[in-house]
Structure formats: C-alpha cells, structure tokens
Chains A and B, each alone.
Chain A
C-alpha cells in the first residue's frame, strides 16, 4: 500500500513569484480589509506611542526648564515667552488632545502625590 501524503488530500498549490512570508502578510492584509475597526485602533495605538515618546523627549529637554508641577502647555508657552523656540508640533499635539492627561501633563505626573 502506497503511503498517503497530506498533499494527496490537500493539493499543493505553488503560485509563481510569491514566497510563503509574503503570503502570510497578504493574509493579514486581507484580514485587515475584512476588519477595519481593529486595524485603526492598532494604528491609533501606534500613533499614540510615538506621540507620547515625542512629548516625553520634550519633557526631558532641559532647555525648556523644569517640567514638574505645570502642564505641558504651560511649559511650552513659558519657553516660547522666554525665546527658547520650543517645537510647534509639540504644541499641536497637546492642543489636539486637551482632555487626555497623558498628553497634557508631564511624564512625572503620576508622582505628583509625592510632592
């Protein structure tokens, strides 16, 4: 009796010009087309991460003065007032997310109870 192979039942289909990895990516891509809601939340999360990283770098830049105890916008405006030229996109980021503490307050905000 000849050995049964899995490919006997499931025909091996090899399409030209495509490696397996790309296939996987294509699968994910096709999935994401099917479920757009999930993907935007992923992207938003990614965007948020980069935003927060940018804002934290702003916090840690000593040129703009101490950051603890004041909001990021207050710090940005103070730096502007004293001619330190803080980056404008940081201000935009903060202004676009005024209800979100992670955007409006500095990275030590969680420690404010200890002050």
Chain B
C-alpha cells in the first residue's frame, strides 16, 4: 500500500542528501474517458419526463426478464398489468413509485387558498404511511407485501412475483432487481499504482483551511516527506476531484432576488474562490493527471448529468494537457480499472427519500438496482432525455464511488458472475482533511489524512 515500506531507509529528520538529487519518475497508466454518454449534445428542456421513464423501462426490461426467469424458473409467467387476471400468480415488471405525503410538492406550496405554510425543509421525507405503486407501460397497481416500502425509492425498475387480491392490490410474495451487469476483466497493472479520490475542497468559505490543501498538493506532487514518501507519491497516476471544490457560501443567492442596479458592481462570490482553485489545480496538474468533476456547489448546471466546468475558468491550470474537466457522473478506464462515480447527489437524494441511513449502503443499493440515480428525475434534477437513460449501469465498474459523504467507508461487493467492485464513499476534505487512495493493482483503498492543525498541543503536523 501507500504506507511506507519498512525496509526503506530514511526518516523525516536527517541531514541533507549529498551528491545527486533523487529523482522519481511519475508512473504512467493507460487512460480512457468513457463519459461520452453524460455529455449533452443538445439542450432542450421543453420535454416531459415521461420519455426517460419509458426508455428506462424498455432498456431494463430484458434484463429483468432474465433475472426473473433465473429466480423463479424459465416457465414463470411474465405479464403486463393489463393482461393480468385477479388472483393469478405471475410476475410483473415495472417502475416503482413511492407515494409520500411529506414529499415537497410545488403545487402544495402555491396552493394559497388553503393558507398552507410553505413546507419546511427536512432531513428525511419518509413516514410510516408511505406506500408503493408499480407502474408498467400503461397501468399502475398498489403493492403490498414483501417489498419493503421504507428502503425502496421511486424510479427503480423491479420485477414482482405475486397475485392481485380482491381489493385490487398486488400482494408481493417475492421480488428481484436486474442482475449486476457483466464486468470487463481486470487487467490491473503489475506494480502499485494509485488514484487519489478527493471531494469537497470547500474553497471560498470564511474558515478556509488552505494549509491542509497545500500539504495534500505538495504530498501528491512529491515536494513533501522523505525519499520513501516521494517514491510512493510518484506512483499516484491520477487525481479525481469528485465535486464541491468550492464552498456552498460562494453561491450567491442574493443576486437572484436583488434588483439589478443594486448588485451591478458586486462580483460573484465564486470568482475569488475559482482563482484559488485554479492555483491549486495548476500546481497539481503540472505533475499529475487531474480530473475535475463538478458538484452541487460548483458553478456548473444544476441538473444531472452536470457538464464539465468550462476551461476558461482555469486559465492557468488548463495550460497543462494533464488537466481535464469531466462531467458528473464520470466514468473512465484508468490502467484497465473502470472507475464510475458521482459527486454524491444521487446518494444524498436517496438518503432523503428512504429510511436508509448509511451512505455506503445507499451506494450499494444503486448498484444492485442497476441504476446510478433512480430518484432522478423525480426528486433529483435530471436532464429530460428522450432516447436513452445514461444512468443505467451498462457494465459493472471496478471502482464505484460517491463524493462529498460524511465519512470514508469502503466495501468489496461480489456479484453472482464473479464481478468484484470496490465501493467507496469519499469524505469531505474540508471537514476531515482526508482523501482516498485506491490501489489499482490490489483494488484496495486507504485513507490519506493531512493534518495541519496543532491537535491539543501534542501532535504537531503529520501527513
């Protein structure tokens, strides 16, 4: 792993090396950006979201038929809701819709006749009375039974096995999701190669901790630590920044409500922060490949998929061919290992609309249902696609990550067909001063923490 080799000579405090300076060549890895499907070619926001649901159901139906046949036998009868008779036991494939009383609704907010107060923002919008409805191409039916309401979310494609009772409700005896898609065979590098995942740099807040960030940059670029550290740092082939490089406070909402003549001369809060970010990125990309994903608070479009930040925002960093701005979600092949991840909006949204608490659990859920962001476009903003749903998992990634999560967690998920995926939740750098190192050879990961504060006096500076 990245940790120092015990056989390696060298301590932090030692005399300057004499003679020739040690030089470490940065390791190289093959790279292919596979995010083409997340880059919008046209921007037509006039369409309805019915298309994306229709396309999602079509695209996933074949996979669910396959999964259903494997689970309940080849001769299981798969029907549409319109063909189903009451009391007949069969399999129905459709999209889940979770009816939630507490779900914020624009119609409720503007219904002034009732004199209702605007709905308060909540951490979670679930309640016990929530219920599930299954929709196929033309019809819908209420679900009861084995499928857990609280952990399910709207937009998931599911196959349910059961029968409709006299009251018209479908009694679910069993259910299944699409099988984990096939995984490309791993051609991992023979030596240790690392990819750094970091998120929420949070530049631009009032209590910036730029020293920690500078330490991280110095460590990656090999200007920190002893020879052993520098040797390890040379094996870092790529840095992926998973969103929220800027702090939330840089989003100046005032200018939207204030009159134009009042805010004419005020510069946007993000301008200074972007300059600082550009400075850090220039240092990093002078040494290593950097992929910058946009996040919730970055100056990018709001709806998923978020488009790459414009190159003009980084006049200094963009001079390097190693600096890449990429979309969110982002998929890439680094040294034969397929990375797929988001800046965390999909996980945060499922957190709000289900009883699931743990972000790693939620991340795993999105992988098992075969869809990166099932709640888009219902509660998570999404572009109104009409001929494809880019969030469907077409192949199983080797590393699947979500940025901007509370703490670092990781897990190896094993699929039925020998798939092996590393799930990682990337912590917020601005709060934890830590990032994640993924070893491409072993597919293991570890946390790298940079501390730049005097911790109650006893532990000065460690990295």
The chain A residues found within 8 Å of chain B, CB to CB, are 62-63, 65-66, 68-70, 74, 77-78, 81-84, 112, 115
Contact = CB atoms under 8 A, between A and B. Distances in A.
B48 A66 contact: yes
18 contacts: A62-B138, A63-B137, A65-B50, A65-B55, A66-B48, A66-B51, A66-B54, A68-B48, A68-B50, A69-B46, A69-B386, A70-B47, A74-B386, A74-B387, A78-B55, A78-B386, A84-B58, A112-B46
B58 A70 contact: no
Pairs of residues from A and B, 3 with the lowest C-beta to C-beta distance, nearest first: A69-B47, A66-B50, A65-B54
A69 B48 contact: yes
Interface in B96-145: 137-138
Contact of A82 (B47, B50, B55, B138): B55
B59 interface: yes
Contacts of A62: 137-138
A70 B386 contact: yes
B137 A78 contact: no
B240 to A, nearest CB: 32
A84 B386 CA distance: 15
A67 B47 CA distance: 10
Contacts of B50: 65-66, 68
B58 A82 contact: yes
Contact of A65 (B46, B47, B51, B384): B51
Contacts of B138: 62
Secondary structure at chain B's binding surface: helix, strand, loop or mixed?
Answer: loop
B54 A81 contact: no
Interface of B: 46-48, 50-51, 54-55, 58-59, 137-138, 384, 386-387
A68 B58 CA distance: 18
Given A62-B138, A77-B387, A78-B387, A70 B51 contact: yes
A74 B55 CA distance: 13
Contacts of A115: 46, 48
Contacts of B137: 62-63
Nearest to A68: B48
A25 B387 CA distance: 52
Given A74-B386, A78-B387, A65 B58 contact: yes
Contacts of B46: 69, 112, 115
A93 B137 CA distance: 26
A26 to B, nearest CB: 52
Nearest to A75: B386
B75 to A, nearest CB: 23
A81 to B, nearest CB: 7
Nearest to B58: A82
A14 B155 CA distance: 78
A48 B253 CA distance: 54
A69 B387 contact: no
Given A78-B386, A78-B387, A69 B51 contact: yes
A27 to B, nearest CB: 52
Contacts of B384: 69
A111 to B, nearest CB: 12
B108 to A, nearest CB: 22
A82 B63 CA distance: 13
Contacts of B58: 65, 82-84
Contacts of A77: 387
Nearest to B53: A66
B70 to A, nearest CB: 21
Contacts of A69: 46-48, 51, 384, 386
Given A66-B51, A82-B59, 8 more contacts: A69-B46, A69-B47, A78-B55, A81-B387, A82-B55, A82-B58, A84-B58, A115-B46
A68 B44 CA distance: 13
Which of B50, B51, B55, B137 has its CB near the most chain A CB atoms (within 10 A)?
A: B51
Contacts of A83: 58
B462 to A, nearest CB: 55
Contacts of B59: 82
Contacts of B48: 66, 68-69, 115
A83 to B, nearest CB: 8
A70 B387 CA distance: 10
Contacts of A82: 55, 58-59
Nearest to A82: B58
A63 B54 CA distance: 10
